[in-house]
Structure 1
Amino acid sequence: MNALLATSGTALVHPAARRLLADVSADPGRPVRLTVVAPGGYGKTALLDALGAGYRAAGVEAVLVDNADRLGEDELDRLTALADRTDAPMVLAHRPRPPAALRLLGEAFGRRTPGLRLSPLGMEEVAQLREKLTGETTDIAAVAELHTRSGGVPRLVVRALTGGLAEFRGELAELDDDVLRYLLAAEAGAGRNLDLLSVLLGRTPDRLPEVVDGARATGLLGTDDVLLPLAADAIRAFSPPARRLATLQRLVDLQLGKGLPVLDLARSLLDAGGAGASAAAAFAAAAREALPADAALAARFSSAAAASGARGTELTAGWARAAALSGDLDTALRLGDSMLGGEDPGTRATGAEIAATVLAHRGELARSAELYHWAGRGDADAFAAIALVGTGDLDGANRLLGSPAAEVVPTLFAGAATRMAHGVAESVSPGGAETLSTLVGAAAMLEPAGGGLALPDSPAALAALAGLHSGELALAESVLTRALTHRIGGDLLATRHRLLLGWVAMTAGDLATAAEHRDAVSRLGHPLEARDELFFATLDLGLARRASDLVGLQHAWDRAYQASMRQQADLFTLLPLGELAIAAARAGAHAKLARQLDRAHALLARLGDPPLWTVSLAWHELHAAITMEDPAAAEAQLATLTRHADHGRYPATMARAARGWLAVLSGTVDPGEVAAAAAELHELGLCWDAARLAGQAAIRTADRKAMVHLLEAARQFQGSTARREPGASEPAGATGLSALSERELQVARLVVDGLTYKQAGSKLFISGKTVEHHMARIRGKLGAGDRRELLAILRELLAQHP
């Protein structure tokens, strides 16, 4: 490498700069006349340092002037005279828009040598600079992020890599006052608002370009004149605090005075620690703007407004709604409760509605209904009616629905609430045929409202529950997905919608998808309210049961049981209670649930044992009885299912499947009847239940031909869920032993021969844990529900292919 390039330093990677160094190195004595133009931080100083080192090494006297735009008139005159009388190399570096005398000198230079304009670094140059400064090999993602945040400005790249952003503190403090205020305004999002800038800077719009030129010269703006992300970070952190606060407050005051949105400006003011009456007004206005899209931010603004002295019902109510929507129910309840003692009836009603909403999420439907009715508003009465049905008081609900409050404004919200209530009331009628249609329609009505409504429950969640109780799984999944997409009910109900999606997937036998929804809720990292905790814990419990995970089942049982004790029994938590009943039977703890089940049966009896809600609980209790080997209890649940069999396809299917289960247990299997019952379960989307019934029937029949037929049906039903164990793969169209690898076949033969996992591992020179892993994969491929069923399937298949 030549002398000049060798002295160029690690920071000089700009291609144009390196080409100049190479040219000068080839002929150091050439009388160069050159201007180097670029905003601050683009590498002008580094280039002049490299040129100076190279000229000194070559013994050449050169005139190198940095920051030439800062020279006074006398200094520029002397520099011009020097250029006329010497042939020594002369390089002047300056920022764009130089003084007139310097511009004329640059034009004279340009007649001999074109000037050099330094542009931002590209991705390749940023990667080179990063590697030189850190010694790290190229990471495309890291380089791309660095390039985006720095805009390729060398100074920003270097300071980001070396932790030197604090060096901007002194530089920002020395900026021209107008330029600094412009940069502060740009960081707050007002960099293109000419009206605001004109008033802030006291300039007419035609004089603003002067300030923008000064801001460009700092090197903190991108080529589109937008503040670069790293520059914005530096301004937030290191600009003079008092100057920043004053500028932000002035911008907010101007925007508020015009009645225009202040959200972005108020966000910057909040981060800067703004306080006082003006800040309070800005924060309150910003809270109203933020609520539909970001409830947590709205709650933060509301809190800041109150801390700055703002008061009033509107602020308190908005804060409470924002807190509820963001999941901070303690704050919402505290604020709602504080409004109950207000002198204004509207204030008391709003407080009651907020408190009622919180209590519904905490599983206190009876108290929630009382508060909603006390509020005395149309939509509040609708929610009260829903809660009353949920607690078994259909007469009370009908009285509210039959005498709607006067002068109710017919908003979408009020209409959706009323339709929700009528849908829930319909659900406890003998047929309940219109329930799903009514609830889905109510869900569609709320979609335009997005996440700004604090709801005790959503029509989508209620529709999904009705779908789960009636075998309409596809409809349940669809309405929940739409609710998540439209953010109905904000973050608070997003958790409920996600959990119910997990329940839909689990009910369909798609355990992998169900686990994904469960894990997505886990990653939220905040405690769940009583109702959501119950659905989460029983979803975890159901997944462990279906995977025959005994350790996981015991762990999940403890959490689910505790959750059930914190939740008052109601119509909308029968599914978790049913899953808990089966797990309790397996854990030998069924007696612990007796009182909860009794309360559930009493609730259903008060509602006339509505088929929609009764059948699913009876189905779960049937399986609990089967697990406990209690024929009398199983016959009682069969009788319940049979009594409702005439009320639709779902009850009829569950009754037929229940008869099949009892036949299986008694050893009087009719293979054709069981296969037909399992097929009907499958048609309803209950693939796991279908496979389980067929599989258990197969291992309990002495008819080999019937066994093969039922095993094949079980595999088909289980396979239709598209579930696979982690790491498992299956060739398209592979069934039976053809789906297993050679190693899996070896493992299967040894385990079927009666060897333990450890013994089989010793024969194959692998660990017992690896054998266990292989068996888990085999179970997934063959669609077996548990180890007993898997061994039965393998014995049959291996007998056919010795």
Structure 2
Amino acid sequence: MTSAERLFEQVVADPAVARCVTIIGPGGCGKSALLSALAASYRHAAIEVIEVAGSLNEDVAPDAAVFLDDAHLVEPAVLDRLRPLATAPCSRLFVALRPWPRSFELTTVIDAIRQRGHEVRLGHLERDAVAHRAATALEVQPSSTVVDLLYEETGGLPLLVDETLDAWRLEPALLAAPALPAAVIERVRQVLDSADPVVRAVLHAMAVGCDLDPESAGAILDMDISVAAEAIAAARSSGLLLPDGRSVPLAAAAVLRSARPELTQSMRARLLRLRHQQQRDPVPLARQLARAGLQDGFVADLLTSAGDALRPQDPAGALDLYADAVKAGAAPSSLALRRAESAARSGRFDLALQLVDPVLANASGVDFAAGIEIAAAVLAHRGQLERAGELFEWLGRQQRGASTPMAAIALLGTGRERHAPPLQGGMPDPTLAGGGCVLMARGLQESIDGEAATALSTLMRSTALLEAAERTTLLPDTPAALAALIAIHSGDLDTANSALTRAIEQDLGGAAAWARHRLLLAWVAMLNGHYGRARRLRDGVTAGAGDGGLSLRDDVFARALELGTARRTSDVAGLVAAWNTGRDVLLRHPVDLFMLLPLGEFSVAASRLGQWERVRAHLDDAWDLLRRLGDPIVWSPMLRWCGVQAAILRNRPDEVEPHAAALVRAAQHSPFAAALAAGGRAWMQVLSGDVVAEQIEPAALRLRDFGLAWDGSRLLGQAAVHSSDRHVIAALLQSARTLQQPDEPVDEASDGARPPVGPAAVLSAREQEVAELLVQRRTYNEIGQQLYISPKTVEHHVARIKQRVGATDRADLLARLRAFVTPPSP
């Protein structure tokens, strides 16, 4: 029970008792309502009630109940006449007032009452009290949403709470989707209009974010500190400020709506400068001002400085700050380069090119060379590496300076080795990032001129430097991605996996490389036979690409991954769908050294689907690129191997031989090429019908050792198909099934097949595999190809499955299997 409720009950219970009470609270807290209720109870008890209204002329009967409302506004003479009543032992006196102003005469009366009476304090209601008040007024228990809206918007001010509840009773439909009635908003406006201008000024200052202290308010309102202190006291006394100093939300909104916009902006600008002087964070307010349309050099400079400070660790946040700085009046040309760099490092490549284009239009500008570097890096991410190289060539050797390594990467990656700048001699940029870039370019050069091991070592050192460097360097690629590509092209999947895993952990390259590293890691997973993980990584990248989608370079890898996983799992429908959606992506991507992996996958898929002509031009470009680079032993063998597979699928054994011969030549310098060469020879034997298990099995195992277990398994399976010796067939198929399993165990949550559940437990492991493929509508031939068993054997398995699950026909069988066969992990 509140002190006000307790007082009322006491008066009703025994009105004859003498009482002197002060009722103190801000405006709108129910002082007048309490006085009216008390006066009514005295009248009901036949006790004379005297309500003082500005004067007290008549003599007061000893047993009368005297009520004075708004005592803080009453003239001193009236208060002087009340003082004897406050000290009289038999008087009944009730005085209501706001906490401010407090005159000497009023203080005297209050002190006198305190000597023999007591004090009731009224204020803003807590949420529980608002909920109780709402339930009473609405005669129904309101939802928490209704109570939250009522409490938060009114601040618990009883006047506004009651006004809102009265309006809701008249418009109950507003409670369905709680909204504030228009009548309440109008009532707040009326309260503000009747308030002292000084109070409105303080509320306005609070609404724009000013602190409730005299120094801050004085600075914002251009008042002396003493005047500001009085104004704050008056605002508190009005009830429109909450105990914690915030404005009642309804009042703040009403003040901002009714005030002239230019006055609000002026207040905010002064508040911004004040916070800057106080060394408090002014950026949120500066952004608010900029977005509201304020053109102010101080605001623009502040936001620009904030963007500069944030750019190394959060380019996306810096990009937003620069955009707000432009709104506040900063010259777009002065921020174009910084905005373009931030956009590029955030992975927003289209925006980066739009922003840097005006910089490139001014070849004599001071930012021109830096603009070229940004544009070239972005073009590389978008799959336009050749155009990036052209930009660097156009810049010229003299102007290139610190971007020399980036130019080398772009030119080497497009087969223009003789145009690439030399990387020997002094380092053009002595910073950690500069050193890391030089090593990255040098590692790429070593991968073209020599062996993978040397190049990988150099690229790992490059990664270490760039991890330690400030994250402001925009790269056309990361050393980790190049290392992974070289390792995959060399059959070293463990190195590729570790390089990419660390790059992801260290966030190397930031948002610009986020998708790149994960797609390459998915490629490693696919080659390792972890198709579920490969799909999840790929799907995670595509889902996280945002509205702009993947860059062209990343998209071509994502599409190739879809083709590769479908092909390796004998998902013909998935392969067709992936081809139909991915072929145009490949055609838009010019050939460069770093997209040979997806090109190889597309070429094999095209051969499988009878679409070879669609990739022929790209392959011709790829062979030409490798020829210009001297047919490097690191980069050529994998595409040669894909050429072998494509020729086999098109039943063109004559086209297998050139690729096999090239692999044999490379085998003298590369163990990986040697394994592929052995695989090529084994395929030539299989296609000729000369199946010698003792020669084919070692070749398949060597492929497995270099991360091509699926290729080795397929070689063994096809060798079995072309053999006529039952013992050889059985041995080859068993070896094929062994190679098909991933080299490392995977848990159920990642890539492993889940154990049978329910009735599926009656099926053997092999029957479970067949059942899962049946549910996927695979033919007996397709199931046999994936499991390396004959179609006749598949048929026997299906017959046993039908018997075990009690199916009457094929339709019934499929229905039962769908009900309890666990689908493979996506």
Range into which the TM-score falls when normalised by the shorter chain: 0.7 to 0.9
Shift of 1:600: 0.7
The 5 Å alignment of 1:84-99 reads none
Which residue pairs with 2:555 in the alignment?
Answer: 533
Residue matched to 2:401:
378
* Partner of residue 514, structure 2: 494
User: How much has 1:213 moved relative to structure 2?
Assistant: 7.9
Report the Cα offset of residue 415 of structure 1. Answer: 1.8
Amino acid at match of 1:164: L
Amino acid at match of 1:587: L
In the superposition, relative to structure 1, how do residues 673 and 454 fare at CA in structure 2: closer, same or farther (>3 Å)?
A: same
Deviation at 1:587, TM superposition (A): 1.7
Whole-Å separation in 2 of the counterparts to 1:335 and 1:457: 21
The change in CA–CA distance for 1:635 and 1:71 in structure 2 (over 3 A counts) is: farther
CA distance in 1, matches of 2:533, 2:129: 39
Aligned counterparts of 1:134 and 1:436: Cα–Cα separation in 2: 74
Is the 1:68–1:94 Cα contact (8 Å) retained in structure 2? no
> Structure 1 pair 731/526, CA: closer, same or farther in 2 (3 Å)?
same
> Please, which moves more after superposition, 720-729 or 545-554?
720-729
1:639-654 → structure 2 map (5 Å cutoff): 639-648=661-670, 650-654=672-676
SS of alignment partner, residue 641 of structure 2: helix
The equivalences for 1:580-591 within 5 A come to 580-591=602-613
Deviation (angstroms), 1:579: 1.3
What is the CA deviation profile of residues 124-177 of structure 1, one whole-angstrom value per residue up to 9, with x for unaligned ones? 979x99xx9998988xxx999x79x96996579999972339949848897542
Residues 645-689 of structure 1 show CA distances to partners (whole Å, capped at 9, x for unaligned) of: 454554455445555666666666666776666666566565655
Match of 1:388 among 402, 411, 414: 411
Mapped partners of 1:482, 1:221: distance in 2: 54
Report the alpha carbon displacement of residue 94 of structure 1 after superposing the two structures with TM: 6.9
Equivalent residue, structure 2, for 1:503: 523
Distance 1:201 1:585, change over 3 A: same
Tell me how many residue pairs correspond in the alignment. Answer: 747
Distance 1:237 1:478, change over 3 A: farther
In the superposition, relative to structure 1, how do residues 565 and 219 fare at CA in structure 2: closer, same or farther (>3 Å)? Answer: farther
- Partner of residue 763 from structure 1, selected from 802, 808, 815: 808
1:391/1:570 contact within 8 Å kept:
yes
Q: Which amino acid aligns with 2:422?
A: L
- Superposition RMSD in Å: 6.0
Deviation at 1:597, TM superposition (A): 0.7
Q: Which residue of 1 aligns with 2:201?
A: 177
Q: Is the 8 A contact 1:266 1:282 kept in 2?
A: yes
How far apart are the structure 2 equivalents of 1:396 and 1:656? 36
Distance 1:67 1:302 in 2: 60
The structural deviation recorded for 1:566 is 1.7
CA–CA separation in structure 2 for the residues paired with 1:700 and 1:347: 66
**Which residue of the partner structure matches residue 13 of structure 2?**
29
Q: 1:447 and 1:143 mapped to 2: Cα distance? A: 52
The code of the aligned residue for 2:265 comes to L
User: How far, CA to CA, are the matches of 1:726 and 1:123 in structure 2?
Assistant: 56
Q: Is the 8 A contact 1:38 1:119 kept in 2?
A: no
Task: Sort the Cα spacing of 1:272 and 1:780 in 2 relative to 1 into closer, same or farther, 3 A.
Answer: closer
Deviations 1:481-521 (A, max 9, x none): 55455555454333333433433333333333333333333
The Cα of 1:575 is off from its aligned counterpart by: 1.0
Provide the residue aligned with 2:754 in structure 1.
Answer: 729
Q: Is the 8 A contact 1:68 1:102 kept in 2?
A: no
| Alignment of structure 1 residues 572-587 onto 2, 5 Å | 572-587=594-609
For 1:662 and 1:206, locate their aligned partners in 2 and report how far apart those are by CA, in whole Å: 99
**C-alpha distance in structure 2 between counterparts of 1:98 and 1:88, whole Å:** 22
Residues 754 and 261 (structure 1), Cα distance of their counterparts in 2 relative to 1, 3 Å cut: same
Give the 3 Å change call, closer, same or farther, for CA 50–584 of structure 1 in structure 2: farther
Does the residue aligned with 1:617 lie in a helix, a strand or coil?
helix
3-state DSSP class of the match of 2:209? helix
Q: Distance in 1 between matches of 2:596 and 2:769?
A: 46
Q: For residues 270 and 242 of structure 2, what CA distance do their matches in structure 1 show?
A: 25
Q: Which of 630, 637, 656 is matched with 2:659 structurally? A: 637
Classify 1:587/1:133 alpha carbon distance in 2 versus 1 (closer, same or farther; 3 Å). Answer: farther
How far apart, in 2, do the equivalents of 1:222 and 1:697 lie? 84
1:798 equivalent in structure 2: none
1:12-39: CA deviation from partner (whole Å, max 9, x where unpaired):
xxxx76x986997899637899999999
Within the candidate set 571, 583, 599, 1:561 is matched to 583
How has the CA–CA distance of structure 1 residues 725 and 400 changed in structure 2, closer, same or farther, with 3 Å as cutoff?
Answer: closer
Report percent identity of matched pairs: 31
Q: Is the Cα contact below 8 Å between 1:36 and 1:118 reproduced in 2?
A: no
Q: Specify the alignment match of 2:287 in structure 1.
A: 267
The answer for the alignment partner of 1:249 in structure 2 is: 269
Q: How many Å separate the matches in 1 of 2:571 and 2:458?
A: 39
1:423 CA displacement: 1.5
- The answer to whether residue 467 in structure 2 is matched with residue 447 in structure 1 is yes
Aligned to 1:7: none
2:367 corresponds to: 347
Question: Match for 1:465: what amino acid?
Answer: L
Shift of 1:582: 1.5
SS of 2:304's equivalent?
helix
Distance 1:530 1:489 in 2: 17
Q: SS at the partner of 2:13?
A: coil
Q: Which amino acid aligns with 1:311?
A: A
**Structure 2 CA distance, aligned partners of 1:51 and 1:339?**
75
Q: Are 1:163 and 2:179 matched, yes or no?
A: yes
> Partners in 2 of 1:485 and 1:70 — Cα distance?
69
- Is the 2:591–2:622 contact (alpha carbons within 8 Å) kept by the matching residues of 1? yes
Q: For the residues of structure 1 that align with 2:126 and 2:354, how far apart are their CA atoms?
A: 54
Q: Does 1:601 align with 2:623?
A: yes
Alignment of 1:97-136 (within 5 A): 108=114, 121=127
Of the three residues 388, 392, 399, the one matched with 1:368 is 388
Q: CA 1:672–1:99 in structure 2 vs 1: closer, same or farther (change >3 Å)?
A: farther
Indicate the residue corresponding to 1:710 in structure 2. Answer: 735
SS of 2:208's partner is helix
User: Given the superposition, is the C-alpha separation of residues 636 and 281 from structure 1 closer, same or farther in structure 2, using an over 3 Å criterion?
Assistant: same
Q: CA deviation at 1:96?
A: 11
Residue 424 of structure 1 is aligned with which of 407, 431, 444?
Answer: 444
Maintained 8 Å contact 1:687/1:720: no
CA distance in 2, matches of 1:752, 1:346: 74
CA deviation digits over 1:220-251, x for unaligned, max 9? 99998799999999999898643432233234
1:729 aligned counterpart, secondary structure: coil
498-507 or 748-757: which moved more? 748-757
Aligned mates of 2:687, 2:100 — CA distance in 1:
89
Amino acid aligned to 2:13: G
After the TM superposition, which residues 404-423 of structure 1 pair with which residues of structure 2 at under 5 Å, given as runs? 408-423=428-443
Counterpart-to-counterpart distance in 1, 2:449 and 2:807: 62
- Give the gaps of 5 or more residues in structure 2: 52-65, 166-174, 776-793
Contact 2:31 2:122 in 1 (8 A): no
Whole-angstrom distance in 1 between the partners of 2:260 and 2:813: 66
SS at match of 1:162: coil
Mapped partners of 1:133, 1:422: distance in 2: 80
Q: Deviations over 1:7-64 (max 9, x none)?
A: xxxxxxxxx76x98699789963789999999999xx5699799969x98x979999x
Identify the residue that residue 72 of structure 1 maps to in structure 2.
73
* Matches of 1:512 and 1:737, distance apart in 2: 22
Query: What is the alpha-carbon distance in structure 1 between the residues aligned to residue 700 and residue 440 of structure 2?
Result: 34
Give me the whole-angstrom Cα distance separating, in 2, the residues matched to 1:110 and 1:767: 94
Given that 1:725 and 1:776 are in contact with CA atoms closer than 8 Å, whether structure 2 keeps it comes out as no
Alpha-carbon distance, 1:294 to partner? 4.6
- Rg larger in structure: 2
